């Protein structure tokens, strides 16, 4: 990845009526993005993580992908939301269990705090389920606003987050 990457976080903790278990749903979501012209450059392993904030929901399956696309950040975010809806995502209560979550984490290191989308994702540096898989595919990535490497961000994670590779 010679130019600054476009990074997308994937997650889900509910089975999809159409695809089944979360990992199958996430795999299908990646395939759908490819069908829509988003080229996947790299994908982390699947991670299993406890809900943040802590709740009695099922554990999540997460991954991070690096992609290439001609879409700008706003159009890419709209496409991600469209795919979520296609897969049965219903937005309601914040941090609720969900079939599919597609987050635009970073777009070519653009910093945008005021518009849509907010870049980089405003909570990504606080989430083990984002940073651990991100390190697999972009180990030299530096947070464009905080100026910290992914390793530094991992070292500063709040305690109590549980994210581990599956299998």
pLDDT tens digits, 20-76: 999 999 999 999 999 999 999 999 999 999 987 778 899 999 999 999 999 999 999
List, by residue number, the catalytic residues.
Answer: 89, 98, 101, 103
State the pLDDT at residue 31. Answer: 98
State the pLDDT at residue 1. Answer: 45
pLDDT higher than threshold 50 for residue 2: no
> Which backbone phi and psi does 26 adopt, to 5 degrees?
-65, -40
State the pLDDT at residue 96. Answer: 78
What would the pLDDT profile of 113-141 be if each residue is shown by its tens digit?
A: 888 899 999 999 999 999 999 999 999 99
Cα–Cα dist 40/29, whole Å = 12
Domains along the sequence of the chain with CATH: 6-157 (3.30.70.560)
Omega within 30 of 0 (cis) for the link into 117: yes
């Amino acid at each position: 990845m010679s130019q600054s990457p476009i990074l997308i976080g994937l997650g889900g903790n509910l089975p999809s009526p159409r695809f089944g278990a979360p990992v199958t749903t996430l795999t299908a979501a990646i395939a759908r993005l490819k069908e829509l012209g988003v080229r996947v450059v790299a994908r982390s392993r699947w991670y299993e993580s406890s809900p943040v904030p802590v709740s009695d929901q099922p554990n999540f399956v997460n991954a991070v992908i690096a992609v290439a696309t001609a879409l700008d950040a706003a159009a890419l975010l709209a496409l991600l939301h469209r795919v979520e809806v296609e897969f049965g995502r219903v937005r309601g209560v914040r941090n609720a269990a969900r079939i599919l979550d597609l987050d635009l984490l970073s777009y070519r290191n653009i910093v945008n705090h005021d518009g849509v989308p907010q870049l980089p994702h405003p909570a990504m540096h606080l989430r083990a389920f984002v940073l651990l898989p991100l390190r697999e595919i972009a180990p030299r990535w530096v947070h464009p606003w905080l100026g910290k490497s992914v390793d530094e961000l991992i070292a500063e994670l709040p305690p109590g987050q549980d994210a581990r590779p599956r299998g």
